Amino acid sequence: MARFVLYARRSLDTDPSAEEQFAILRERCAAAGHEVVDEYVDENVEAKAARDPRPKRDRAIYDAMRGGAEGIAIVSLDRLARSVGDLEELLRELAVAGAGLYVADLELDTLTPDGAEFLQAVSAVVAFDRAVRVEALRRGHRKARAKGVRIGPPRTSRGLEDKIASLLRAGVKPSRIRTITRVGISAISRIKREMAAAEAAADAALAAEDAEA
């Protein structure tokens, strides 16, 4: 017997209600002799974006991480993950937690030997899909660069970069710099790294001069 958290999600009016999803999962867990320790649902019918918030899903993962549950039960994979990449990340998190996954429509219980083997096969397919997508993306980048197309966000102007460097030297926090300059945190971090590298090079040059003297 294992302790399971039941997770349900509704994103469309046509989705089964949370109670319908839970009823299926309770029955399956009872048949397998598993204990239901909690039930969580994310109701996102009113969400405008595809990446709807899922705090209860994160709570279910948290329960598994802290040992409060040995598994998470869902009626179908699309209730848990947004995409193949999202599923890959969630499977890694569950693996770290040492927790299983039960998927009702697949009759998949990864806590069983057959389920564990099936999960390995799914993980292999997910990894293959990611590799194919990455290769296609890199191929597209190469073609774009060959045509002179710059990849990535627009480069920050030299004048603005100098001001950001001055703000960093003045001790202003990167989060505040981002707010007042509207420059992404990655660009601010890059400028900070370049400043550190320049300072290290200057220190090395001074040390070399002192050694020669």
pLDDT tens per residue across span 40-84: 999 877 655 556 788 999 999 999 999 999 999 999 998 998 887
- pTM, rounded to two decimals: 0.60
Within 10 angstroms of residue 106's Cβ, the number of other Cβ atoms is 15
pLDDT at 124 over 90: no
The mean pLDDT of 116-120, rounded to a whole number, is 78
| Residue boundaries of the structural domains of the chain | 3-128, 158-212
Q: For the sheet with 71-74, list strands across it.
A: 35-43, 3-10, 71-74, 100-103, 108-109
Highest-scoring range by mean pLDDT, 12-16, 20-24, 107-111, 201-205: 20-24
Mean pLDDT (whole number) for 143-154? 72
Spacing of C-alpha 37 from chain mean position: 26
Superfamily of domain 3-128, CATH level 4:
Resolvase, N-terminal catalytic domain (3.40.50.1390)
Q: Which residues of the chain form beta strands (DSSP E)?
A: 3-10, 35-43, 71-74, 100-103, 108-109
pLDDT in tens, 87-108: 888 888 988 999 999 999 988 8
- Cα–Cα dist 124/209, whole Å: 56
Mean pLDDT calculated for residue range 173-188? 91
What does the pLDDT read at residue 51? 67
Enter the DSSP assignment of 156. Answer: P
**What mean pLDDT is reported for the chain?**
86
State the pLDDT at residue 147: 79
Q: How far is CA 46 from the centre of its chain?
A: 23
